[in-house]
Amino acid sequence: MFNFLTPKLGIDLGTANVLVFVPQKGVIINEPSVMAVSEVDKKILAVGTEAKVMIGKTPDEIIAYRPMKDGVIADYRVTEALLSYFIKKALGKNSFFKPEVMISVPAGINSTERRAVIEAAIKAGAKKAYIVKEPILGAIGSGIKIEEPGGHMIVDIGGGTTDVAVISLGGIVVANSVKSAGDKIDRSIIDYVKKNFSLAIGEKTAEKIKVKVGGAILLSPKQQLKMKVSGLDYTTELPKTIEIKTNDIVRAVSKNLDDIIKAIKDVLAETPPEMAADIIENGIIMTGGTSKLRSLTDLVEKETGVKAILADSPLTAVAEGTGVALEHLDVYKKAVISKK
């Protein structure tokens, strides 16, 4: 049962989104990692979904931005406020009791960044803070029994980072983390549209394009999806609408996908032979919101020769993993990096 005297919360503190998991209830919060802050008095005006609506539409004195960059804390004070907001929102009427909190972190995080996450969680109201690397949580949330012998490869592609890891006996055997993921893909789309269509678009529009028509492999003309995109013409400085197709996005994001594929190949190259055999048998499990990009699993399989499988719930797998790990800390103690 959910213990109200010591509530437990799992937090997937992502660059793009924050997901909060409560044991026995599941993911109860899924909102953008965005805060709107007044430049005049540094006051926080809005958080999450409400703040994301403000991006690109605020007066000069109000800044809507993400306190997390490339999967780690870029603004300590605002990240603390972000955590505090989501912890209080998750606990509701039971916020009198301080919770035990487990937070996901990228595989490539250093000791200084780890301490920053733990301190931010404690100052935000946590009684205890545990941190676990995202690939491990993604594997747990995908139903993989990581404590057993045998190699499993996880590729977690979020907003700020792509984490690639081979896991066995509850720990990471080989890992790589690259700062090429959803945000950089969005920026590549913005740059491509500017260069090829002389059109200025914002981050929200780029994300919408990625979701609606984006892909990882070139298609025949008949297979392509297409959508109308409006923005500001760089030449005339007037509003303009263009039509963009799947292959435009495949070309736009090819460099980002090359970086992700290279990270996977580098980890495979370092994997012990016996575990490599396990991975060939089990396949590469893909988690994280960006792993849902059309035909990305096909591209991974084509480039590596290993079957790539999209997790049942790629967006929530890491958050669900925090919940399972919190309820079975004794089983996953090897994976828990720190607590305070």
More confident residue, 164 or 116: 164
pTM for the structure as a whole: 0.87
Q: Which among 77, 90, 67, 116 is positioned nearest to 21, based on CA atoms? A: 90
Cross-strand bridge partners of residue 101: 9, 129
Range of the domain at 304: 144-180+254-310
Rg (CA), the chain: 20
Co-location of 173 and 306 in the same domain: yes
pLDDT score for 65 = 76
Show which of 198, 216, 249 is a domain's final residue: 249
State residue 184 phi and psi, 5-degree precision: -70, -35
Out of 102-111, 259-268, 327-336, pick the least confident. 327-336
Co-location of 61 and 29 in the same domain: yes
Q: Which among 112, 254, 232 is positioned nearest to 180, based on CA atoms? A: 254
Co-location of 71 and 188 in the same domain: no
Q: Into how many domains does the chain fold?
A: 3
Per-residue pLDDT, averaged over 41-65, amounts to 79
Q: Which among 174, 199, 175 is positioned nearest to 189, based on CA atoms? A: 199
pLDDT score for 301 = 97
Length of the chain equals 340
CB–CB of 144/153 below 8 Å? Answer: no
Co-location of 218 and 115 in the same domain: no
Show which of 249, 274, 293 is a domain's final residue: 249
pLDDT score for 299 = 98
CB–CB of 267/165 below 8 Å? Answer: yes
